[in-house]
Amino acid sequence: MGNSEVGHLNLGAGRVVMQDLPRIDTAVADGSLAANPAVQDLIGKLKASGGTLHLMGLLSTGGVHSHQNHGLALARIFGEAGIKVAIHAWTDGRDTGPTTSPGFLREFEPKLPATAHIATVCGRYFAMDRDNRWERVKQAWDAIVLAEGTKAASAAAAIEAAHAAGKTDEFIPAAVIGDYAGMRDGDALLCFNFRADRVRQILAALLDPAFKGFERARRPKLVAAAGMTQYSTALDAFLATLFPPQSMKDILGEVVSRAGKTQLRMAETEKYPHVTYFFNGGEETPFPGEDRVMVPSPKVATYDLQPEMSAPELAEKAVQAINSGKYDLIILNFANADMVGHTGSLAAAIKACEAVDAGLARIVEAIRAQGGALLFTADHGNAELMKDPMTGGPHTAHTTNPVPVVLVGGAAGATLHDGRLADIAPTLLALMGLPQPEAMTGRSLIGPAGKAQD
């Protein structure tokens, strides 16, 4: 299943990048996860303190931000070491069906070791916010740290009650399960999400002494913290990493910078990490000559309420940048089709795509006036399928459909052939007249003038 993180990694790298999902799957299967230095460090420190491991992440098999099998494997590893495990389960409903969490829970909970139990349940809308909606994050934080929130006898009961109240999985209010009493001094934290962008805020609230998003009633003194992957350079100061980033050289941004060219990365808040951190191979620091523009996403509860999001403002800034003549390359992400597609509202998704069309029209006009070229594509599907073909209900998840690629400008008579996301960076280099480095194994999608390639 495609997702924005992996999509942007491959777009920027110009090669097929091994995803974190199969990388971690392999470590689970061959047993090397248990021997991971960060895991062993947590075990040693928790044995010394007698504390509990707080294991948190998205409980689903969506495979976009996490996989529950990774959480289960970790719970078993710590259980075998005799360590108590409190699981903070975040429900999905976005990369999976809207009300599929009971099935995931039935698959997960019976396999837990006796030392592990689900301590809190919370929809990803709250725990995994990435738009600085701190009132949402606080609801998850209150449950995890203070054991404050709706009370439920079991995780299944919490989910059932939320569904009965009309809440889908994404929006399940934070619930405290059984006699869970919160985080304590001497405990430790481990997040099993492997995608970075939607855990940065909750982890900053849990770990950063200088956090200012909301007032924290207390801050337990944890003996250690770790994350499945590197989430940000800022968070590196507070937690270890089980699977460090794979070093990638000669990615698009680096090649453009080394050639002395200028580049601009543009997006609204929801997709800003993707055109920067992910597009640059998991590196936060801009390359020389790389500027960045972030337009704030609208402050609405869900984006079907404002499907145009910040596309008009983003398009305006893009036109200004094009007309300035300052940049050789502009990378821009319109978030609408993905973010509104996740709401399941067909009417809103149509308006979202219309907003992108309107923005693109302005950008194309500016590009043509400057004699430039534009390459338009997507890193995964979503809004093209808004009705679940099996249930007839709303479809809120990504799709595996091929995505379009359109070239405006370029050499007269130039054509495009089919390819993959890894071919986009070589195509952009070809349009810019820059040589493709050997490390980029993708190939340009541009065929000879007047002749399409197979």
User: What are the residue numbers of the active site?
Assistant: 4
| CA gap 7, 251 in Å, rounded | 14
The CA distance from 315 to 268, in Å, is 11
Instruction: Enter the tokens of residue 263.
Output: 């580049």
Q: How far is CA 440 from CA 2, 23, 261, 406, 425, in A?
A: 20, 21, 19, 21, 8
What is the distance between the alpha carbons of residues 335 and 65, in angstroms, rounded to a whole number? 18
DSSP conformational letter for 172: P
Provide the H-helix boundaries in 259-345: 272-273, 311-324, 336-341
Q: How many helices (H) does the chain have, and how many strands (E)?
A: 15, 15
175 contacts 152 by C-beta, under 8 angstroms: yes
How far, in Å, are 143, 213, 280 from residue 321 at the CA level?
Answer: 45, 32, 21
Quickly list DSSP for 344-390.
T-HHHHHHHHHHHHHHHHHHHHHHHHHT--EEEE-SSB-TT--B-TT
What distance in Å separates the CA atoms of residue 154 and residue 121, rounded to the nearest whole number? 9
Instruction: State phi, psi for 191 to the nearest 5 degrees.
Output: -100, 125
- The closest alpha carbon to 279, from 36, 10, 3, 86, belongs to 10
Tokens, residue 388? 């679940």
CA distance 244 to 246: 7
Q: Where are the beta strands (DSSP E) in 137-262?
A: 150-152, 175-177, 188-191, 224-229, 240-243
Phi-psi region of 189 (alpha: psi -120 to 50; beta: other; left: phi over 0): beta
Cα→Cα distances 175→80, 187, 355, 439, Å: 27, 20, 37, 48
